[in-house]
Structure 1
Amino acid sequence: MKTNAHHPLRPKALGCALALAFTMSAQAAVSEQDAARLGKDLTPIGAEKAASKDGIVPAWDGGMSKVPAGWKPGRLDPFKDDKPLYSVDAANVDKYQDKLPPGQVALIKTYKGYRVDVYPTRRSCPVPDLVAERTKKNATFAKIGEDGWRLEQAYGAGTPFPIPKTGIEVMWNYKTRYTGLGRRAQISALMPDKDGSLVETKQWSFEMYPFNDPKTATLKDLEGIDSKLLFDVQSPASRAGEGYLIHAYLDKPQDAWIYFPGQRRVRRSPTFAYDNPIAGFDNLYFVDQINMFTGAPDRYDFKLLGKKEVIVPYNSYKLIDKKNKFKDMLGPEYVKREFQRYETHRVWVVEGTVKGDKRHSFVKRVFFIDEDSWALLHVDMYDAKGNLWRVQEGSLWAAPDVGACMSYEYQTYDLVARRYVTDNWTAEGEVLDLTAGKEGRVNAATFSQDELRRRGER
């Protein structure tokens, strides 16, 4: 099924107002007066602190800043007693269409029984003191390069553009959002097959975000590194031993290396980027869809469409609950609805359109980014004819031991193939280590070609 491209944020008044903002230099920093709002009417990283006028979105009170008794990822849901306020399904979706991303509307209309259960809004995301301090400095300091996409100047461990004026600034807030220095986990990518079976790819996942290191004073300390990822494939047997190493940069396209156990060699892979399909997923999943959006943002022009109250995945503790089993969570066409929690939150909406001299299978992407965490919660992806092709939704849950909200689990629905893929699912994994970078279990040596080879040959 193909759905006509549609976006609810195109009123003429908004378009005219934003057109003026887009003519401003991408390098413009906010004034000292605007920066002074941080920690006052704005949260320390730039969200509106006050409740919405109707009270549906409550005021931010600091989030889950204290570690509750018994906290361990996957073993405690602080909101387990909440009940849905209402559900949106095919019978009433037109009533709530303006509160949903177009992709979510398409899923409701496409799949029988698909619904969105909307819970009370909990603004659970905390902000560490260091992040607040560095963010305030960034407000008048951070800068986009003259090429219009490169992050040229910022202090580490803080949101670069807490009061954004352009789409690319919001995208860099997402890419550098604070989630701790590094983490490791046993994850699964899952794909329901056409015959009703479940194809599972088990992996060790290692991630490091040098930008979040308290020792990072400015970008010069990072040597251009945005993030480092390493994936060590455990199963299925036909892929066991494969390894993938990715170095993403602040100012150029990413580097990638792949270890093939049959060849016993590490090979550089310049094609492991952008819209190249990931092996083992029947062409349903592109490289730059990893973690919702990864790699250089150089192929798109990013237009800031504004901020809006939208129903999005939030406080997704059911997805990481160790009591749950994948086979019980995944239906043949979509993630079973009782395992998904949605809430109404204010999100930034950014439209990415492929530049005239570039190419990408997704000619347009629309990103929905949470104001409280800068996490990417939903992406609509359009083909060359302007039709909605794929829909990707993320997850979000507060981790008080890190002092931030985490985004791990996500799923991609292909409306043309009528199939879906999930990735970074951790419920059945034994390890979900969020402080591995701080405590040295993940470090620079983890993300070397030698380590990639060692893990493949063990």
Structure 2
Amino acid sequence: MKTLTFSLLSGAFCAALGAVSLQASGAVDVGKLGGDLTPVGAQRAGSADGTIPAWDGGLTKAPAGWSPGHGDPYAADKPLYSIDAGNVAQYQSKLPAGQVELIKMYPGYRLDVYPTRRSCAIPAEVAQRTKEFSGQGKIGADGWRLEQAVGATVPFPVPQSGIEVMWNYKLRYMAKGRRAQISYLARDTAGALSEVKQWAYEYYPYNDPSVKGPADTGDIEAKLLYDILTPSSRAGEMYLVHGYLDKPQDAWIYFPGQRRVRRAPSFAYDNPIAGGDGLYFVDQINMFTGALDRYDFKLIGKKEIVVPYNSYKLVDKANKYQNLIGQDYLKRDAQRYEMHRVWVVEATVKADKRHSFSKRVFFIDEDSWTLLHVDMYDAKGNLWRVQEGSIWADPGIQACTSFEYVSYDLVARRYIADGFTQEGEVLDLTAGMEGRVTDKMFNSNELRRRGER
């Protein structure tokens, strides 16, 4: 079995941290919001070498004929260069360790790098409220729970710690709720493609400007409901998850054969996902989900690296899963990469806690606070799994969003793709704004009602 050591894979990355810029410790200069900084805390200016342009407000108006899953505002762009096994050493300092290993491991795996488009817009109300309430966000005495923040803001636009960056990610603006038909996809070692298709409903109460603090949401961060449609052997299963600001999540499962709802205390942390062949843990859902209590989060700083961005080709409904999901990796032509500035946060398991991933390294977009890449290490410090997100701007919500992501297991040499919407009938990002997703949908009684209809 191939051994992947942390020291060999990440040495070049760590050595390059001289290029990282950290905010100085001490008082937070929120006066720069809307000036040198964008309204949510990103650097407004472009990079010194010109590869990253200045932020100009993002994509606020949909091109003619565009809708989610249909069309690409940047279809005319051509790749500037590709990174593959032949030139990866040249670009290694601009890549997460996981991408370097994927390029080295799989023949034909490459990154096509396009011109950088800072497409993520910011709703005017979120921009105004973030500046108005800056400095009011507060982390609890335990070092991880969110003790105070108001709704429809970035709680820590000028973060001073890793935990503040993680809460910015968890409370990033994506509108109040959304719904979609999504698929979980994987190929077995013989090449057969399996699919679990489901309705996904997601509710984000902290995107509501009426929220003045955690008590207004019942200390809820997010509510998720998954209703399985296929395969027939699992049709009718439902999973309800409540994510909290101050404690581990609660979960319930509806079993159609029993017509009963049961609590699911194991649906959290590093417990395997049902039907995932041990390739995928619960807290990998949506790149990272659940409580932050098992890790210490160290803020490494900010770095310019190549990440997936403006993934319109990937979410195009012209794609069919049989062609998109390759044996070893996602079809390379479908993914777009760009150079962007990201926050780098290193999470290590606390001395009195346990988790199968002893360390995670998170790469979070400065413009949207979206998690774009995660490297995950085992107890011996070996790189084990690599997770990659997608991001694209939707003028309908005046912000960027993300559904699709993949997780590569470097030991099993297999991967899963989750949140894929290309063959789903519905991709509705404004459902929470227009009443199609509401808080009353996310309770155990609703699971029973849906199961009995």
TM-score tier (shorter)? over 0.9
Verify: 1:89 aligned to 2:84, yes or no.
yes
Deviation at residue 18 of structure 1 after TM alignment: 7.4
Amino acid of the residue matched to residue 227 of structure 1? A
Cα distance change of structure 1 residues 72 and 18 upon mapping to structure 2, 3 Å threshold: closer
Deviation at residue 197 of structure 1 after TM alignment: 0.8
Cα distance change of structure 1 residues 13 and 411 upon mapping to structure 2, 3 Å threshold: closer
Correspondence for 1:242:
237
Correspondence for 1:132:
127
Structure 2, unpaired ranges of 5+: none
Verify: 1:113 aligned to 2:101, yes or no.
no
Verify: 1:388 aligned to 2:368, yes or no.
no
Correspondence for 2:439:
444
Deviation at residue 20 of structure 1 after TM alignment: 9.1
Deviation at residue 80 of structure 1 after TM alignment: 0.8
Correspondence for 1:10:
14
Cα distance change of structure 1 residues 13 and 131 upon mapping to structure 2, 3 Å threshold: closer
The correspondence for 2:170, drawn from 144, 156, 175, is 175
Counterpart of 1:3 in 2: which secondary structure? Answer: coil
Cα distance change of structure 1 residues 67 and 3 upon mapping to structure 2, 3 Å threshold: same
Correspondence for 2:227:
232
The whole-number CA distance in structure 2 between the counterparts of 1:278 and 1:55 is: 43
User: More deviation in 127-136 or 267-276?
Assistant: 127-136
The whole-number CA distance in structure 1 between the counterparts of 2:438 and 2:151 is: 17
Amino acid of the residue matched to residue 10 of structure 1? C
The whole-number CA distance in structure 2 between the counterparts of 1:385 and 1:135 is: 41
1:13-28 map, 5 Å = 21=25
TM-score (norm 1): 0.95
1:249-260 map, 5 Å = 249-260=244-255
The whole-number CA distance in structure 1 between the counterparts of 2:20 and 2:167 is: 24
Verify: 1:200 aligned to 2:185, yes or no.
no
Deviation at residue 337 of structure 1 after TM alignment: 0.3
Cα distance change of structure 1 residues 100 and 263 upon mapping to structure 2, 3 Å threshold: same
Deviation at residue 260 of structure 1 after TM alignment: 1.2
Deviations 1:418-444 (CA, angstroms, capped at 9, x unpaired): 000000000111100101111111101
Correspondence for 1:301:
296
Percent identical: 66
1:354/1:364 contact within 8 Å kept: yes
Deviations 1:114-142 (CA, angstroms, capped at 9, x unpaired): 00110000000000111111211332111
Deviation at residue 375 of structure 1 after TM alignment: 0.1
The correspondence for 1:322, drawn from 312, 317, 325, is 317
Deviation at residue 68 of structure 1 after TM alignment: 2.7
Cα distance change of structure 1 residues 248 and 197 upon mapping to structure 2, 3 Å threshold: same
Deviation at residue 19 of structure 1 after TM alignment: 12
Correspondence for 1:25:
none
2:23/2:158 contact within 8 Å kept: no
Cα distance change of structure 1 residues 150 and 15 upon mapping to structure 2, 3 Å threshold: farther
The whole-number CA distance in structure 2 between the counterparts of 1:324 and 1:299 is: 38
Cα RMSD for the two superposed structures: 1.8
Deviation at residue 65 of structure 1 after TM alignment: 1.3
Verify: 1:424 aligned to 2:419, yes or no.
yes
Verify: 1:290 aligned to 2:290, yes or no.
no
The correspondence for 1:453, drawn from 419, 428, 448, is 448
